């Protein structure tokens, strides 16, 4: 098994203030509108993020960096798909995701940098799923935030949208 890893990167421009975007990334109510069917988060360094996605998969992470409203870095525990790909060769490091929020005068730029997926062919489907899923999730986040009132305490109801299968 190769010890080399690969990553993925996405970004969106959101026509809303950074504090509003931060709330959508760090509160259960917002996470359950754009990202997961169930979520819990303790938004602080050393805290945890746990989500159940619509397809039943779970993602659990330790929050390594929580720098409001600029950066949220997550270190994920291996999920079932990752463990299955690794088999007995589990000499790989963790998958990490870094959400970087950059406030501009007229918008907020959100960048997602993921890393740590082994280059081994056994992880091709896992890597592809993360890349394509984050493209969908971030676009959903952008649309939801731009439709919502930034002064609203809770997010608007999620509209049903077909999800492409990666």
pLDDT tens for residues 71-125?
A: 999 999 888 888 787 775 555 678 999 999 999 999 999 999 999 999 989 899 9
Rounded distance, CA 99 to CA 122, Å? 26
Picking from 143, 117, 110, the residue whose alpha carbon sits closest to that of residue 19 is: 110
Fold of 5-147: Alpha-D-Glucose-1,6-Bisphosphate; Chain A, domain 4 (3.30.530)
In the predicted model, what is the mean pLDDT of the chain? 89
Q: Which tokens belong to 60?
A: 């659990």
91 closest CA partner among 133, 120, 52, 59: 120
Round to whole Å and give the CA distance between 78 and 130: 13
Residue 164 has pLDDT above 70, yes or no: no
Tens digit of pLDDT for each residue in 120-154?
A: 898 999 999 999 999 999 999 999 999 998 877 67
């Amino acid at each position: 098994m190769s010890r080399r890893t690969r990553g993925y990167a996405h970004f969106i421009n959101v026509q809303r203030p950074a504090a509003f975007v931060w709330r959508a990334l760090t509160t259960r109510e917002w996470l359950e509108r754009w990202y997961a069917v169930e979520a819990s988060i303790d938004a602080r360094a050393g805290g945890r993020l746990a989500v159940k996605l619509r397809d039943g998969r779970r993602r659990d992470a330790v929050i390594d960096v929580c720098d409001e409203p600029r950066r949220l870095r997550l270190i994920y525990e291996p999920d079932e798909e990752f463990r299955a790909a690794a088999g007995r060769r589990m000499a790989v490091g963790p998958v990490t995701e870094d959400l970087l929020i950059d406030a501009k005068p007229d918008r907020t730029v959100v960048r997602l940098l993921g890393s740590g997926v082994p280059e081994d062919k056994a992880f091709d489907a896992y890597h592809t799923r993360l890349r394509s899923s984050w493209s969908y999730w971030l676009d959903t986040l952008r649309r939801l935030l731009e439709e919502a009132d930034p002064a609203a305490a809770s997010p608007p109801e999620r509209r049903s949208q077909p999800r492409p299968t990666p």
